[in-house]
Amino acid sequence: MTPDETTHPGSLAAASREALSAAGALAQADARHVERAVQLRMAEAVAQAIENRTALVAEAGTGVGKTFAYLVPTLLSGARALVSTATKSLQDQLFLRDIPRLRDALQLPVSVALLKGRGSYLCLHRMKQARQSATLPDRWAVRTLAKVEQWSQGTKSGDLAEMDGLDERSSVIPLVTSTRENCLGSECADFKQCHVVRARREAMAADVVVVNHHLFFADMALRDTGVAELLPSVEVAVFDEAHQLPEAGVQFLGTTLGSAQALDFSRDLLGLGLQLARGLAKWQELAAAVEKAARELRLAAAGPLRDLRGMLKLRWDERAAREDFLAALADLGRAADAAGEALDTVSELSPEFLKLAERAGTLATLAGRFAAEAATGQVRWIDVSPHQVRLVESPLDIRDALAEQMGAGHKAWIFTSATLGEDDKLAWFTEQAGLEGARTLRVGSPFDYAAHARLYVPAGMPKPNEAGHPAAVATLAARFARVLGGRSFVLTTTLRALQAIAEKLRAEFEAEGVGIRVLQQGEAPKRALMQQFLAEPRSVLVGSQSFWEGIDVPGDALQCVLIDKLPFPPPNDPLVEARVKRLEAQGRNAFADYFIAEAAVSLKQGAGRLIRSETDRGLLVVCDPRMAGMNYGRRLREALPPMTRVANEAEATAWLETLAAERAEA
């Protein structure tokens, strides 16, 4: 698959336009394909970046068809390509559906590989170990392990996503997958059948490799995901859903020490010690010391973890000076050192013990690092979830990391998303990524928002910080949902508001005997909630952060989206505080340059759930009076698609009644 050496500049753009045109290869392969001027414009810009080996940052509104706009020129170029996207599900969509469809339509002999992180693949050695160690937490885990073992006999890829009914939160997954710390590499008895090794080998041989952002950045930090070997050989690197790159980078480029990491080590230390070297060291005492220190660290860092949902970020300086916190870190370091010394005495018995000794050393080093001052230019915080705490030290953005990668080789870099900023320079993204010098392109949605969508900002709402605000949002949502017969989303900025709004909605519907179901984030996995909503549109789904993007409900199943308040970053978030201090030190206005810019991008993401096709119609409600009353409200309104604004609730209700009547007639 080599490009024609005689091609002249611009020929790739011409070939891409032709393929995407009304009479082109895609239209011939699929009668539903429609030529879109905005898609052609983006494809041409991508083709130019590929030909010139330059960087392009492209924002493409809903309905542009950006996936094909970057894939067509990438495939036609004959260049070796890496395509990175935000989530594993989007990875699967590209690998299983989009690229094969284009490959067939364009009749190109392109080989494609899918590469995920270690935690996505079954580890045959760890699976056997889990069966032998008898440390499964409950009978559900025993059943799940049996299902994994049965599935393992037929799978070729070892990708756990193939397994039906395997909950991604299952306690068995860490037991049957490997980590960088516990992988035995070529010393492993199952190395020849290793699914991770096979996936990496296939990636190295493929023309196009599909990865995700987490994997890309984890590799930069660890050099352990297979991307390290892959990237130098790639001529085109494409990042879809690029708005998630900055946060993915900050998360994976940082250094972390987690209580779960220590508990996993403790469990493996005890299991392997008793299994392979019983009586040669006090394995139970050593493991218990590590476990105790991990639990003390969790308690000192976060206090009792009762009724916690989701993730909390705690300020580092509120904990770091406390004696119990420092004592827990010191205890963990000592317990890890003691375990390491014992493991050294039995290291010749099995390569397992060498790996455990390395993990013990890592734990001790991390405990010492977090007991000392943070490195210059880094920010620290504590992530608290229902089951663990993680101490994090991270850079403030991905500028330096991305610059290092982009400077390492002459290739094309394409960054694209539906939301990358609110201005033509796409400054929200380009500043964080260090791409101020890149070419930027904005292509708007081809949808007729003015005719098909209405924007309503209620004037009489309580202020977002007032106690009655969640109830007022729920009451308004209930009124609109009754008109539509459900078919609504309520997107909240906090988990606390989510709970209050969902409870009030249920009470409203029950009191009036209205048969509208309330689906609440957290009560079932995200995918299950979406399946329920689609199966029974007579529902209101109340969701927080994970429902603001990546949700696609075309048609009349969703016709009203309510946003509880403007999605400003939380000012007490440690990462937000550090970024604000940096901007102020540069003499900039943090509110204008950071808070409003962040809110504009998030608002666009949330609003993007409403109109997903040319025929969709609906109402967007922003239940925050600041959107209408503050001088920055205009800037936020202009960041949204050009929806027609309605003046009051009567006009909003009339619009919904029109939609309901049209649906009844159809």
Listed as own residue / partner, the contacts of 16-24 with beta carbons closer than 8 Å and 24 or more positions apart are 16/40, 16/43, 16/44, 16/46, 16/47, 16/72, 16/73, 16/76, 17/43, 17/44, 19/72, 19/76, 19/105, 19/106, 20/68, 20/69, 20/72
pLDDT at residue 528, rounded to an integer: 87
* C-alpha distances out from residue 608 to 450, 480, 549, Å: 14, 19, 8
The residue ranges of every structural domain in the chain are 11-116+202-248+398-443, 252-395, 449-665
Mark the ranges of the chain whose per-residue pLDDT is less than 50.
1-7
- Number of continuous H segments (helices) and E segments (strands) in the chain: 30, 18
When the candidates are 3.30.700, 1.10.10, 1.10.3470, 1.10.275, the CATH number that belongs to 252-395 is: 1.10.275
pLDDT at residue 525, rounded to an integer: 82
pLDDT at residue 125, rounded to an integer: 92
Beta-strand pair 81-85/236-239: parallel
> Class of 11-116+202-248+398-443 per CATH?
alpha beta
Listed as own residue / partner, the contacts of 129-135 with beta carbons closer than 8 Å and 24 or more positions apart are 129/175, 129/271, 129/272, 130/172, 130/175, 130/176, 132/275, 133/271, 133/272, 133/275, 135/267, 135/270, 135/271
Rg (CA), the chain: 26
161 phi, psi to nearest 5 deg: -65, -20
Task: Enter the DSSP assignment of 85.
Answer: E
pLDDT at residue 164, rounded to an integer: 82
β-strand partners of 81: 208, 236
Cα–Cα nearest to 615, from 554, 570, 537: 554
Q: Say if residues 299 and 341 touch (Cβ distance below 8 Å).
A: no
**Which helix or strand (DSSP H or E) is residue 325 part of?**
helix 323-345
pLDDT at residue 567, rounded to an integer: 96
User: Is the Cα dihedral 101, 104, 110, 113 positive or negative?
Assistant: positive
Are 11-116+202-248+398-443 and 252-395 in the same CATH fold?
Answer: no
pLDDT at residue 309, rounded to an integer: 64
Three-state SS for 463-514 is CCCCCCHHHHHHHHHHHHHHHHCCCEEEECCCHHHHHHHHHHHHHHHHHHCC
pLDDT at residue 308, rounded to an integer: 63
492 phi, psi to nearest 5 deg: -110, 160
pLDDT at residue 88, rounded to an integer: 81
pLDDT at residue 283, rounded to an integer: 95
pLDDT at residue 6, rounded to an integer: 35
pLDDT tens-digit series, residues 256-309:
999 999 998 999 899 889 988 999 999 999 999 999 999 999 989 887 656 666
Instruction: Please give the CATH topology (third level) of the domain spanning 449-665.
Output: Rossmann fold (3.40.50)
* C-alpha distances out from residue 393 to 27, 258, 366, 581, Å: 50, 12, 11, 17
- Residues in CB range of 201: below 8 A, 6 or more apart: none
β-strand partners of 393: 255, 380
Say how far residue 35 (Cα) sits from the centre of its chain.
31
